[in-house]
Amino acid sequence: MSTIALDRGVRHGFSLAWRGILKIRKNPEQLMDVTLAPIIFLVMFTYLFGGALAGSTDSYLQMLVPGIMVMNILQASMTAGVQLNTDVSKGVFDRFRSMPIARSAPLVGAVLADVVRYVVCIVVLLVVATIMGFRVQTGPVELLVAAGLTIAFGLCFCWASVFVGMLLKTPQAVQGMMFVLIMPLTFGSNVFVGTDTMPGWLKAWADISPVSLLSDALRGLLNGGAIAGPLTGSLVWMVAAVAVFFPLATWAYRKRV
């Protein structure tokens, strides 16, 4: 591909990302799923179970917020598939495809627009958490690294969502499927409770799950503590997710559109 073609491809990707951002602005309820739900979890778990689980709500909050960030980003990344499926079902893609633009531009656009969604989610969550008493124990650099890592995690796992989105027929089916996948993934982890009291098979999974590892890495970054181990684990998962789901997603995308 010549540089001119590449340049045009990127520009088309940005134009389509602009469309995605316009859509977020017009349908803020799209963001409700990924902003309100985590806040409800945050409030509920902190005040209901925090005292029992961690001795005090304050210490529980410090442990919970990084975990909820992961859960949040995972849910936000899953809307990519629903969105793409809607576009294909409604015929919007046919118009794009009948135009002389790169075939991957709509995909690139959808993923770029997702970054905006991720940023909004993380900011809203951290603001609410701060109001509730959460404090970053380290510094601004660590906070930025944590946020960047979370966004990168979302970008890696959104390919799973794109894959499912291109495989299933309707947006509703995609939504349902993603819910079924995400729920056990988030709860079967150390986001809400330590893994020590879990049965052996669950603990074995929860200790190495990408959600647990990234949660631990974020805890290290935001609260202080071990970073290297869980960070390495998270990065391995992220690379693995891209290695598996990016080819599958682009294959399904090319087959579908």
* 127 binding other proteins? (CB under 8 A): no
Does residue 226 belong to the site contacting other proteins (CB under 8 A)? no
Shortest distance in whole angstroms from residue 16 CB to other proteins = 7
Q: Which is nearer to other proteins, 20 or 154 (CB)?
A: 20
When asked if residue 255 is in the footprint of other proteins (CB under 8 A), the reply is no
Q: Extract the tokens encoding 127.
A: 């603001």
Interface with other proteins (CB under 8 A), residue from 1, 2, 29, 100: 100
Q: Rounded to whole angstroms, how far apart are CA atoms 219 and 64?
A: 9
Between residues 96 and 246, which has the closer beta carbon with respect to other proteins?
A: 96
- The sign of the dihedral angle between the CA atoms of 208, 212, 218, 223 is negative
- Of 37, 35, 56, 34, residue with least CA distance to 46: 56
Taking CB under 8 A as the criterion, the residue among 96, 187, 205, 246 binding other proteins is: 96
Name the minimum Å distance from CB 240 to other proteins. 33
Stretch that binds other proteins, among 13-21, 182-190, 200-208, 209-217 (CB under 8 A): 13-21
Q: Which residues contact 115 (CB under 8 A, 6 or more apart)?
A: 151, 155
| Helix residue ranges per DSSP H, the chain | 3-26, 29-44, 50-54, 57-90, 92-97, 105-132, 140-167, 171-187, 200-208, 210-223, 228-256
Q: How far is the CB of 85 from other proteins (least distance, A)?
A: 15
Under the binding rule (CB under 8 A), the answer on residue 101 touching other proteins is: yes
| Contact flag: residue 117 with other proteins (CB under 8 A) | no
Residue of 44, 55, 97, 247 interacting with other proteins (CB under 8 A)? 97
Beta-carbon contacts of residue 23 (< 8 Å; ≥ 6 apart): 30, 83, 113
Q: Is 82 in the site for other proteins (CB under 8 A)?
A: no
- DSSP string of 147-186? HHHHHHHHHHHHHHHHHHHHHSSSHHHHHHHHHHHHHHHH
Q: What is the torsion angle, in degrees rounded to the nearest 10, for the CA atoms of residue 245, residue 75, residue 255 and residue 238?
A: -10
Site membership for other proteins, residue 16 (CB under 8 A): yes
**What number of residues does the chain have?**
257
Query: What is the nearest approach in angstroms of other proteins to the Cβ of residue 254?
Result: 12
Q: Do 112 and 10 touch, CB atoms closer than 8 A?
A: no
Asked if 22 interacts with other proteins (CB under 8 A), we say yes
Q: Which is nearer to other proteins, 84 or 136 (CB)?
A: 84
| CB 32 to other proteins: min, Å | 16
- Coil, strand, or helix at residue 243? helix
Cβ proximity to other proteins: between 11 and 169 the closer is 11
Choosing from 1, 2, 3, 26, the residue that interacts with other proteins (CB under 8 A) is 26
- Binding residues (CB under 8 A) for other proteins: these are 8, 11-12, 15-16, 18-19, 22-23, 26-27, 90-92, 94-101, 105
